[in-house]
């Protein structure tokens, strides 16, 4: 049987392989972790489905695998014959070398000289095969599959490119025939054949129709790196960690997907501030929970989403999917400086006490890195409290495939005009900005602006006589 990459939430379509916990041929018990994976939301482990043996790894560390694709072959104990002995990794080098060089007859009417000898490819493949067999990094330690401009390259491809003097820009221009356009061993060898034997690619009349396109003529969709950023001896160069790379990729894709529009509203939250100051101590004594401003904001957003279901939606091609459940994600900062978005499911069903409890729980475990995959997936709308950093307002980026996100600014005392029965007066009030970014493909200005205005109205109309418990 095969172990498949499990579904980890509605918006999670793929995961990056971090580390194999179990080697090939190793026995595991049911629910033991066999592999560590990472998505753009959270790190997780895939457990063994039953007692058995991990026969073969079908993916390598650094690979990006789609949900539902096989990651390992697995034999349930007692299901069949014993798996191949794991103690024979050495012969694996021979078959690797046997398939090293593709047949040149497909790209030229006459045999073209091979730019890379089979022995060279075997030399490059050998450490990869050996390391996969014994669980070590071998001679390629520190050289995992790497992404450039959104494209992954295997250690073997990178090794061949390095040995043959192929720069990153030229490597990015090679057409890939692998999964999701990745460059395979055959692709880079074909490129080298064409580079060293251009006359063979021309051939007789009509032969060029079957040859691969010249890589230098291929339009590269990712911005080419022409030169490294200038640095001085005083500069510190910090490599992005894996989470930062995932966030960066997610944000770029969001901006490229959705035309962002942002509407702003200023709300008077004096009633909420005064009520919280009067009741926060009693609230904590009776419920055991600290009362922050976040539950008030979540409550108002949930009410507004019920009023405007067009904002509680996602986009699938030309279809708008109106979500029945109101599942609000709240952006939380981790100690490393990254952001993670745990989800409050059915946020509209909680009272203020319940929201305070779940907000504190999710925020605490987010900082500890203890969230489960299903707790960071399935959100229908997102809230980001930029006021915690002292920011007055922000223009947040939509969390795909959602269609809106709300930024909550810092609460500040300001002079404001207050309407009274005796007339308008100027008073010191607690004011804050709400910034609503929305996908203009499906949310127009009237809907997006009306929604954020409604959130502000709910905050301003808070009942000052409300019971604290």
Q: What is the pLDDT along the chain (469 residues), one digit of tens a residue?
A: 889 988 766 556 788 888 898 899 898 888 788 898 877 666 778 888 888 999 999 999 888 888 889 999 988 886 444 444 444 444 444 444 334 444 444 444 444 444 555 555 555 544 444 434 444 443 333 344 455 555 667 767 777 888 888 888 788 888 887 656 778 877 888 888 877 654 444 444 444 444 444 444 444 455 555 566 677 778 888 888 877 888 888 889 899 999 999 999 999 999 999 999 999 999 999 999 999 999 999 999 999 999 999 999 999 988 999 999 999 999 988 777 778 899 999 999 999 999 999 999 999 998 888 888 889 889 999 999 999 889 999 999 999 999 999 999 999 999 999 988 889 999 999 999 999 999 999 999 999 999 999 999 999 999 999 988 7
CA–centroid distance for 380 within its chain: 16
Distances (CA, A) of 469 to 219, 280, 285, 289, 352: 63, 10, 10, 11, 8
Asked whether the beta carbons of 236 and 404 are under 8 A apart, the reply is no
DSSP lists the bridge partners of residue 383 as: 330, 406
CB-based burial label for 108 (10 Å; 0-12, 13-18, 19+): buried
Return the CATH number of the domain spanning residue range 244-460. 3.30.559.10
| Active site members | 440, 444
Q: Which residues of 59-98 are buried (b: 16+ CB within 10 A; e: fewer)?
A: bbbbbbbeeeeebbbbbeeeeeeebeebeebeeebeebbe
Q: What is the pLDDT of residue 293?
A: 96
User: How many residues are listed for the chain in this entry?
Assistant: 469
Q: What's the angle, vertex CA 229, arms to CA 224 and CA 231, rounded to 5?
A: 165
CA–centroid distance for 114 within its chain: 40
From 261, 316, 193, 278, select the one nearest 435 (Cα to Cα): 261
Distances (CA, A) of 20 to 29, 102, 172: 16, 30, 28
Instruction: Please give the biggest Cα pair distance in the chain.
Output: 97
Written as six digits, the tokens of 269 are 């939250």
Domain map (residue ranges) of the chain: 2-87, 98-223, 244-460
pTM exceeding 0.75:
no
CB-based burial label for 35 (10 Å; 0-12, 13-18, 19+): buried
Q: How far apart are CA 293 and CA 277, in angstroms?
A: 11
**Where does 291-411 show beta strands of DSSP type E?**
313-316, 319-322, 328-330, 332-333, 339-340, 343-344, 381-384, 404-408
Q: How far apart are the first and last CA of the chain?
A: 54
Residue 238: partners with Cβ closer than 8 Å, 6 or more residues away: none
Q: What is the pLDDT of residue 116?
A: 52
Q: How far apart are CA 33 and CA 356, in angstroms?
A: 33
Asked whether the beta carbons of 450 and 323 are under 8 A apart, the reply is no
Q: What is the pLDDT of residue 48?
A: 86
Asked whether the beta carbons of 185 and 121 are under 8 A apart, the reply is yes
Q: What's the angle, vertex CA 409, arms to CA 279 and CA 41, rounded to 5?
A: 100
Between 2.40.50.100, 2.40.170.20, 3.30.1490.20, 3.40.50.720, what CATH number should domain 2-87 receive? 2.40.50.100
Residue 359: partners with Cβ closer than 8 Å, 6 or more residues away: 292, 294, 295, 298, 330, 344
**Three-class SS of 116-162:** CCHHHHHHHHHHHHHHHHHCCCHHHCCCCCEEECCEEECHHHHHHHH
């Amino acid at each position: 049987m095969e172990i498949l990459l499990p579904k980890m939430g509605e918006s999670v379509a793929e995961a990056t392989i971090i580390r194999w916990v179990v080697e090939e041929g190793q026995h595991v018990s049911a629910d033991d972790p066999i592999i560590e994976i990472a998505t753009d939301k959270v790190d997780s482990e895939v457990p063994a489905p039953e007692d058995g043996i991990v026969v073969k790894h079908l993916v390598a560390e650094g690979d990006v695998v789609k949900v539902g694709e096989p990651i390992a072959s697995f034999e349930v104990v007692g299901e069949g014959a014993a798996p191949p002995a794991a103690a024979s990794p050495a012969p694996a080098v021979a078959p690797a070398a046997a398939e090293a060089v593709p047949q040149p007859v497909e790209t030229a009417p006459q045999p073209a000289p091979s730019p890379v000898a089979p022995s060279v490819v075997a030399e490059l493949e050998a450490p990869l095969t050996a390391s996969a067999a014994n669980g070590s990094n071998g001679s390629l330690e520190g050289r995992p599959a790497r992404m450039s401009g959104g494209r992954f390259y295997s250690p073997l491809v990178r090794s061949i490119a390095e040995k043959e003097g192929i720069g990153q820009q030229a490597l990015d221009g090679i057409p890939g025939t692998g999964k999701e356009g990745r460059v395979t061993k055959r692709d880079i060898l074909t490129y080298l054949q064409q580079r060293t034997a251009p006359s063979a690619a021309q051939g007789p009349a009509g032969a060029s129709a079957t040859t691969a396109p010249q890589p230098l003529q291929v339009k590269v969709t990712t911005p080419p790196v022409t030169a490294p950023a200038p640095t001085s001896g005083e500069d510190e160069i910090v490599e992005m960690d894996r989470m930062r790379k995932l966030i960066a990729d997610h944000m770029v894709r969001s901006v490229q997907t959705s035309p962002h529009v942002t509407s702003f509203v200023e709300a008077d939250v004096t009633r909420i501030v005064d009520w919280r100051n009067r009741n926060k101590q009693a609230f904590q004594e009776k419920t055991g929970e600290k009362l922050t401003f976040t539950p008030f904001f979540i409550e108002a957003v949930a009410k507004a989403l019920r009023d405007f279901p067009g904002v509680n939606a996602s986009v699938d091609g030309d279809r708008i999917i109106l979500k029945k459940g109101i599942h609000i994600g709240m952006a939380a900062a981790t100690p490393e400086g990254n952001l993670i978005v745990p989800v409050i499911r059915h946020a509209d069903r909680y009272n203020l006490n319940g929201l305070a409890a779940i907000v504190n729980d999710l925020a605490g475990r987010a900082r500890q890195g203890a969230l489960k995959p299903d707790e960071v997936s399935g959100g229908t709308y997102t809230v980001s409290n930029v006021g915690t950093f002292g920011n007055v307002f922000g223009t947040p980026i939509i969390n795909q495939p959602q269609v809106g996100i709300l930024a909550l600014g810092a609460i500040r005392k300001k002079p404001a005009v207050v309407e009274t029965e005796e007339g308008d007066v100027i008073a010191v009030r607690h004011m804050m900005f709400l910034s609503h970014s929305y996908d203009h493909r499906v949310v127009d200005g009237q809907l997006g602006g009306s929604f954020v205005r409604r959130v502000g109205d709910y905050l301003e109309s808070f009942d000052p006589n409300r019971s604290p418990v």
